[in-house]
């Protein structure tokens, strides 16, 4: 794993953007794997500023998001489909029809997972952006998720519900289930950038980089990826 430790969140976002820009400049129709959460917002701001200034174009880029809450769709501002439009897609030249995410309101969850897996099988991701949960999850693959997993519905752990409740009016409003790409879908990406900032991520970052490769720490699977870069701030790197 390549490891880049920088001073702060801003520097982390800029480092990630350098890799993003190289990928989408090199391949106009790149396939991006994108993430939600606080971590990638700075990267998305860099992409927006650059695109608005006439830099990289995303008009032929396709995007696949990692996960979505079961029961939420664009009509909820807590949904990840809403997040992606508000924080990125509505501000760059990507075509909305080229953006993909699990449908949180799908009537048949199993069919929705099969639909998403078929799409992923047909589209190799050139660059996958990831954050990491304080419990070592990537996407919503919580500790104990099989490494061979593909897109599935998960019961969110109490830890994740608590972490994510900061974005909801109350903890009771946090959905208890989510669709998520599986760990083997994520590992199929050609290149992965995982970002982490803040002291509350230090233990997870240690598990990601130095811990045993174990399903108890889902992110540890990335030690087996041929082209994975961790970009983190000093606080998140403090246990390395
Ligand atoms: P965060 O979430 O970016 O909001 O910290 C990361 C994650 O849970 O994967």
pLDDT at position 123, please? 97
Q: Give the pLDDT confidence of 84-142 residue by residue, as tens digits.
A: 999 999 999 999 999 999 999 999 999 999 999 999 999 999 999 999 999 999 999 99
- How many degrees, rounded to 5, is the angle at CA 112 between CA 66 and CA 77? 55
Quick check: is 137 catalytic? yes
Residue 152: pLDDT band with limits 50, 70, 90: very high
C-alpha to C-alpha distances, 159 to 67, 150, 163, nearest whole angstrom: 17, 22, 6
Query: 57 C-alpha to center of ligand 1: Å?
Result: 27
Q: Are strands 31-34 and 127-130 parallel, antiparallel or unpaired?
A: parallel
Known catalytic residue at 10: no
37 CB within 6 A, ligand 1: yes
46 in Cβ contact with 17 (< 8 Å): yes
How far, in Å, from the CA of 12 to the mean position of ligand 1?
Answer: 14
Tell me whether strands 2-6 and 191-196 are parallel, antiparallel or unpaired.
Answer: unpaired
> Which CATH number is correct for 7-127+145-189, 3.40.50.1360, 3.10.20.520, 3.30.930.10, 3.40.50.970?
3.40.50.1360
Catalytic position from the list 135, 141, 185, 197:
135
CB of 197 sitting under 6 A from ligand 1: no
Q: Which of 234, 203, 198, 233 has its CA nearest to residue 219?
A: 203
Q: How confident is the model at residue 178 (pLDDT cuts 50, 70, 90)?
A: very high
| Mean of pLDDT values over 10-32 | 98
Q: What is the pLDDT of residue 200?
A: 97
Give percent of the chain above pLDDT 70: 100
């Amino acid at each position: 794993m390549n490891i880049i430790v920088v001073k702060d969140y801003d520097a982390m976002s800029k480092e990630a953007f350098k890799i993003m820009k190289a990928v989408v400049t090199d391949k106009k129709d790149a396939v991006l794997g994108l993430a939600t959460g606080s971590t990638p917002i700075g990267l998305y701001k860099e992409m927006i500023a650059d695109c608005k200034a006439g830099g990289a174009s995303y008009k032929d880029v396709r995007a696949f998001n990692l996960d979505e809450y079961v029961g939420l769709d664009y009509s909820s501002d807590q949904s990840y489909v809403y997040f992606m439009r508000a924080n990125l897609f509505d501000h760059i030249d990507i075509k909305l029809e080229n953006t993909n995410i699990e449908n949180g309101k799908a009537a048949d969850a199993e069919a929705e997972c099969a639909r998403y897996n078929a799409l992923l099988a047909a589209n190799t991701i050139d660059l996958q952006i990831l954050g990491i949960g304080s419990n070592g999850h990537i996407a919503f693959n919580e500790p104990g998720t099989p490494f061979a997993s593909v897109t599935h519905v998960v019961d969110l752990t109490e830890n994740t519900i608590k972490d994510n409740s900061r974005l909801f009016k109350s903890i009771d409003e946090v959905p208890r289930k989510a669709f998520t790409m599986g760990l083997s879908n994520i590992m199929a990406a050609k290149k992965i950038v995982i970002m982490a900032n803040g002291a509350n991520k230090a233990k997870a970052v240690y598990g990601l980089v130095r811990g045993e490769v174990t399903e108890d720490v889902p992110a540890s699977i990335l030690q087996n990826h041929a082209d994975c870069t961790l970009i983190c701030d000093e606080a998140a790197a403090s246990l390395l």
